[in-house]
Amino acid sequence: MDGIDIMYFAIIGIVALGAGILIGRSMIAKGNAQKEKELEEKAARMIKEAEITAENIKKDKILEAKEKFLKLKSEFEEEASRKKNQIITNENKLKQKESHLSKEFENVKRQEADVKELRDNLTAQLEVVNKKKAELDKFNQQKVSILEKISNLTADEAREQLIESLKSEAETKASSYIKDILEEAKLSATKDAKKIVLETIQRTATEHAIENCVSIFNIESDDIKGKVIGREGRNIRALEAATGVEIIVDDTPEAIIISGFDPVRREIARLSLHRLVQDGRIHPARIEEIVSKTKKNIEEEIVEIGERTVIDLGIHGLHPELIKMVGRMRFRSSYGQNLLQHSREVANLCATMASELGLNPKQAKRAGLLHDIGKVWPEEPEKPHAILGMELAQKYKEHPVVCNAIGAHHDEIEMTHLISPIIQACDAISGARPGARREVMESYIKRLKELEELGLSFDGVNKCYAIQAGRELRVMVDAENVSDDRAGQLSFDISQKIEKDMQYPGQIKVTVIREMRSVSYAK
Chain segment 255-304, per-residue pLDDT in tens = 888 877 677 788 888 888 888 888 778 888 888 888 888 888 888 888 88
User: In this structure, is the dihedral angle defined by the CA atoms of residues 239, 241, 247 and 250, taken in order, positive or negative?
Assistant: positive
437, 472, 504 - which closes a domain: 437
Transcribe 103-120 into DSSP letters: HHHHHHHHHHHHHHHHHH
Q: Is residue 422 part of a domain?
A: yes
Candidate from 15-19, 151-155, 464-468, 480-484 with smallest mean pLDDT: 151-155
Q: Which residue has the higher pLDDT, 139 or 208?
A: 139
Split into its structural domains, the chain has a count of 3
Q: Is residue 143 part of a domain?
A: no
Q: Is residue 25 part of a domain?
A: no
Q: Beta strand pairing status for 337-338 and 255-259?
A: unpaired
Q: What is the pLDDT of residues 406-452, one digit of tens each?
A: 888 888 888 888 888 888 888 887 765 544 454 445 666 777 888 88
Please give the DSSP secondary-structure letter assigned to residue 329. G
CATH of residue 336's domain is 1.10.3210.10
Same domain, 430 and 453: no
Work out the angle between the directed axes of helices 439-456 and 484-501 (0-180°, nearest 10): 140
pTM over 0.75: no
Same domain, 358 and 294: no
Q: Is residue 38 part of a domain?
A: no
Q: Is residue 28 part of a domain?
A: no
Which residues, at least 6 apart from 158, have a Cβ–Cβ distance to it below 8 Å? Answer: 147, 151
Same domain, 413 and 444: no
The residue segments making up the domain with residue 370 are 331-437
Q: With bands split at pLDDT 50, 70 and 90, how would you rate the model's confidence at 210? A: very low
Note the pLDDT of residue 208: 40
Q: Is residue 17 part of a domain?
A: no
Note the pLDDT of residue 187: 60
Same domain, 372 and 452: no
Count how many residues are written for the chain. 523
Q: Is residue 77 part of a domain?
A: no
Same domain, 460 and 483: yes
| Burial class of residue 55 (count of CB atoms within 10 Å of its CB; 0-12, 13-18, 19+) | exposed
Same domain, 507 and 490: yes
Which residues, at least 6 apart from 122, have a Cβ–Cβ distance to it below 8 Å? Answer: none
CATH of residue 506's domain is 3.30.70.1350
Q: What percentage of the chain has pLDDT greater than the value 70?
A: 80
Q: What is the pLDDT of residues 225-242, one digit of tens each?
A: 777 778 878 888 888 888
Q: Is residue 39's pLDDT more than 80?
A: yes
Work out the angle between the directed axes of helices 400-408 and 361-370 (0-180°, nearest 10): 50
Q: Is residue 80's pLDDT more than 50?
A: yes
Q: Is residue 293 part of a domain?
A: yes
Same domain, 420 and 448: no
